[in-house]
Amino acid sequence: MSAPLIAIDAMGGDFGPHCIVPASIACLVEFPSLHLVLVGQAPILEELIARHPAVDRARLHVEHASEVIGMDERPSQALRGKPDASMRVALELVRSGRAQACVSAGNTGALMALSRYVLKTLPGIDRPAMVSPVPTATGSCQLLDLGANVDCSAEHLYQFAVMGSVAAEALGVANPRVALLNVGTEEVKGNQQVKLAASLLQQAHGLNYTGFIEGDGLYRGEADVVVCDGFVGNILLKSSEGLAAMISARIENLFTANIAARLVGSMALPLLRRLQGDLTPARHNGASFLGLQGIVVKSHGAAGVEGFQSAIRRALIEVRENLPQRLHGRLEDLLL
Amino acid sequence: MSAPLIAIDAMGGDFGPHCIVPASIACLVEFPSLHLVLVGQAPILEELIARHPAVDRARLHVEHASEVIGMDERPSQALRGKPDASMRVALELVRSGRAQACVSAGNTGALMALSRYVLKTLPGIDRPAMVSPVPTATGSCQLLDLGANVDCSAEHLYQFAVMGSVAAEALGVANPRVALLNVGTEEVKGNQQVKLAASLLQQAHGLNYTGFIEGDGLYRGEADVVVCDGFVGNILLKSSEGLAAMISARIENLFTANIAARLVGSMALPLLRRLQGDLTPARHNGASFLGLQGIVVKSHGAAGVEGFQSAIRRALIEVRENLPQRLHGRLEDLLL
């Protein structure tokens, strides 16, 4: 394989190039064969790159794009109004084959709309899905969809299951257990879409469908791929982030209540903070868009340098595994 | 007010009367004016009561019911096939006015179906909702619906908002902030039902509607009442329970890794376990069914003695606050 080249939308996210440039440079150090193209306002990017004189400029390119899509801009506006947006130019680099993947921390809705428009979906896929690993008691599971699709039919859920299974395999899970998120594990439970999706999945050959899973079963590690619509997935993910943050804050408070507690805390907190690292989204950062004719990874808008690095890492794995090609092959067998 | 009398379905839950009888007796000690009727197989109940010779039998009655509804039985089966089920007899005591509330740890679907059939809904309410407090960074919020209704229209969400607001007031929150759970806080976000419910709530007078809330906002304590359909609410609640349990287990593991960690753990874990108590569902146990012509509290099926006690406590608060009556009054003003 030739050296991987990834296009980076350098203007997105809450911290923009101030976070993305150092994260990109750190990845170039970590992966000596990696090439990156930073897309965005060249003067700003060059100035930030100049702060790292040791960087290997032969592997770090800058592609100028004059416009930036705002975090609150409507996807339709981003699609029509900004032909020279950094996000769009980065996606065009993937479409033209110059880059093998695009990473952005920008506006999620705009990134999804532009990805569909610029890259198109794989044959048989109606809608791309957003997938991300979630830490569980036994490792992690791939949860999808995470918000790209708020209203889903049974067929969409079926497609998500197929795509999630292939993605989990690409990440090294053999014969991944695929489950449908539901309010109970009995057959009679759930809404119409979920029941119908279950009957489609039961008939699918070559897919290790294990049935319904509940919210607590997900965290017990009962499946490798958990499928739900984007409304439910987004709320599950964000409420989990909120709960984990609340527990962390309460733990910190616990050890500041009095001198004795502070003393115990001075020994316990370093250990506990290591745990916190395992649970925070930054470590598991990088949601992939699945079902496109190209690789797109969305970094959390609030991600810092470390978080954006792990989004680039995820893109690199997908490039090495040639994920869209693998998906295309499996979809031909599994799609209805 | 006359002495409160609560009917207890003594046969439900994972542990049945072995948990429910001691929990009931503990509540009689805690509340000296409380009367309870234990409904179920009298010989079993009498034998378990006899183990507590100090109990005030003038306040503890037993009502025989020959049948028990299984935890996996279909609601339709429970409705038609078991006229003498403990759950049903307990609800009949509320309907006839002999008891002011019913508490059950039994089959949720059956309890909802029987409650609707026996007690009927309040005028203007299509479907009762299940509400439960969820711990937040600043206290707790009332989350509804929790699984009674997996498919909801905008009108149902509106009714849940009204009922949740009145319930929060009854629990002592002045002018409760009511928010709709969504995948974003901007107006354009969400599915059709949520967007339509938002426009209904914006027009409602006498309701402190604050807009959309995301999953992390819920845990930050940004609202006192959070409204969603039963599918989303159930998954949010169960995934939160699963995540909290996973974090607890990881914390315990952290402090057994080696001798040094064990030493720190011997001091830190007692403090941390106190926190765990605040987060476990047992402490916040007792989901109320709102919108019925009577008070019904559902205890978690897996709840132990302490959990079932807190379900009885919740029922007692609702009796004292005369919740169905208050709801009825407010619904007349607020319903469309």
Give the residue-averaged pLDDT of A199-225: 94
Chain A stretch 15-34, residues whose beta carbon is closer than 8 A to a beta carbon of chain B: none
Q: Do domains A1-125+291-336 and A129-281 have the same CATH topology?
A: yes
List pLDDT tens digits, range B151-173.
889 999 999 999 999 999 988 99
Q: Which of these, A125, A185, A304, A217, lies nearest to B241 by C-alpha position?
A: A217
Residue B103: predicted pLDDT: 98
Residue B284: predicted pLDDT: 61
Residue B126: predicted pLDDT: 85
Report the residue from A192, A238, A249 with minimal CB separation from B214: A238
Best to test chain B binding among A247, A250, A255, A267 (most B CBs inside 10 Å): A247
Report the residue from A219, A247, A265 with minimal CB separation from B242: A219
User: Rounded distance, CA A302 to CA A47, Å?
Assistant: 23
Query: Cβ of B242 and A218 within 8 Å?
Result: yes
Residue A336: predicted pLDDT: 56
Q: Which residue has the higher pLDDT, B73 or A224?
A: A224
The average confidence (pLDDT) of chain A is 91
User: Rounded distance, CA A1 to CA B210, Å?
Assistant: 54
Report the residue from A135, A137, A239 with minimal CB separation from B216: A239
Best to test chain A binding among B73, B191, B219 (most A CBs inside 10 Å): B219
Please classify residue A153 by burial: count the beta carbons closer than 10 Å to its beta carbon, then call 0-12 exposed, 13-18 middle and 19+ buried: middle
> B134-280 falls under which CATH superfamily?
Isopropylmalate Dehydrogenase (3.40.718.10)
Annotate B314-325 with b (16+ C-beta within 10 A) or e (fewer).
bbbbbbebebbe
Q: Which residue has the higher pLDDT, A72 or B235?
A: B235
Give me the residue spans of the domains in chain B: 1-125+291-321, 134-280
Residue B281: predicted pLDDT: 54
Q: What are phi and psi of B171, to 5 degrees?
A: -85, 5
Is pLDDT above 80 for A1? no
User: Rounded distance, CA B230 to CA B145, Å?
Assistant: 5
Give the residue-averaged pLDDT of A263-287: 75
Q: Give chain B positions within 8 Å (CB) of A219.
A: 239, 242-243, 245-246
Residue A267: predicted pLDDT: 82
Question: Smallest CA–CA separation between A231 and chain B, in Å?
Answer: 6
**Bridging pattern class, strands B295-298 and B101-104:** parallel
User: Rounded distance, CA A268 to CA A277, Å?
Assistant: 15
Q: Give chain B positions within 8 Å (CB) of A186.
A: 72
Question: Smallest CA–CA separation between B218 and chain A, in Å?
Answer: 7
Sheet hosting strand B101-104, strand order edge to edge: B60-64, B35-40, B5-9, B101-104, B295-298, B287-290, B129-136, B139-144, B225-227, B178-181, B209-213
Q: Is B219 on the interface with A (CB under 8 A)?
A: yes
* Among chain A residues, CA nearest to B252: A272
Q: What are phi and psi of A129, to 5 degrees?
A: -120, 160
CA dihedral (B305, B309, B310, B313) in degrees, to 10, reads 180
Q: Which residue has the higher pLDDT, B279 or A13?
A: A13
Q: What percent of chain A has pLDDT over 90?
A: 68
User: Rounded distance, CA B161 to CA B229, Å?
Assistant: 11
Fill in the amino acid letter for B333: D
- How many contacts does A have with B, using Cβ atoms within 8 A? 158
* Among chain A residues, CA nearest to B217: A242
Is pLDDT above 80 for A31? yes
List pLDDT tens digits, range A132-178.
999 999 999 999 999 778 888 999 999 999 999 999 998 899 999 99
Query: Cβ of B267 and A271 within 8 Å?
Result: no
Residue B274: predicted pLDDT: 77
> B1-125+291-321 falls under which CATH superfamily?
Isopropylmalate Dehydrogenase (3.40.718.10)
Give me the residue label for tokens 């509330």.
B101
**Bridging pattern class, strands A178-181 and A209-213:** parallel
Q: Which of these, B155, B151, B141, lies nearest to B199 by C-alpha position?
A: B155
Q: Determine contact, residues B278/A246, Cβ cutoff 8 Å.
A: no
Q: Is A307 on the interface with B (CB under 8 A)?
A: no
Q: Which residue has the higher pLDDT, A263 or A62?
A: A62
**Bridging pattern class, strands A287-290 and A129-136:** antiparallel
> Quick one: DSSP state of residue A57?
G
Residue A85 tokens read as: 């947006």
Q: How confident is the model at residue B149 (pLDDT cuts 50, 70, 90)?
A: confident
Interface ipTM > 0.85: yes
Topology (CATH level 3) of domain A1-125+291-336: Isopropylmalate Dehydrogenase (3.40.718)
Is pLDDT above 80 for B276? no
Q: How confident is the model at residue A251 (pLDDT cuts 50, 70, 90)?
A: confident
Task: Indicate the CATH number of A129-281 among 3.40.50.300, 3.40.50.720, 3.40.718.10, 3.40.50.620.
Answer: 3.40.718.10
Among the listed ranges A2-16, B103-117, B205-219, B320-334, which one has the minimum average pLDDT value?
Answer: B320-334
Sheet hosting strand A209-213, strand order edge to edge: A60-64, A35-40, A5-9, A101-104, A295-298, A287-290, A129-136, A139-144, A225-227, A178-181, A209-213
Query: Cβ of B249 and A137 within 8 Å?
Result: yes
List pLDDT tens digits, range A84-128.
999 999 999 999 999 999 999 999 889 999 999 999 999 989 889
Q: Is B264 on the interface with A (CB under 8 A)?
A: yes
CA dihedral (B46, B52, B53, B57) in degrees, to 10, reads -60
Residue A284: predicted pLDDT: 61
**Bridging pattern class, strands A295-298 and A287-290:** antiparallel
Residue B1: predicted pLDDT: 55
> Quick one: DSSP state of residue B292?
B
Please classify residue B109 by burial: count the beta carbons closer than 10 Å to its beta carbon, then call 0-12 exposed, 13-18 middle and 19+ buried: buried
Residue B336: predicted pLDDT: 56
SS (H, E, C) B18-86: HHHHHHHHHHHHHCCCCEEEEEECHHHHHHHHHCCCCCCHHHEEEEECCECCCCCCCHHHHHHHCCCEH
Residue B280: predicted pLDDT: 63
Query: Cβ of A191 and B150 within 8 Å?
Result: yes
Please classify residue B233 by burial: count the beta carbons closer than 10 Å to its beta carbon, then call 0-12 exposed, 13-18 middle and 19+ buried: buried
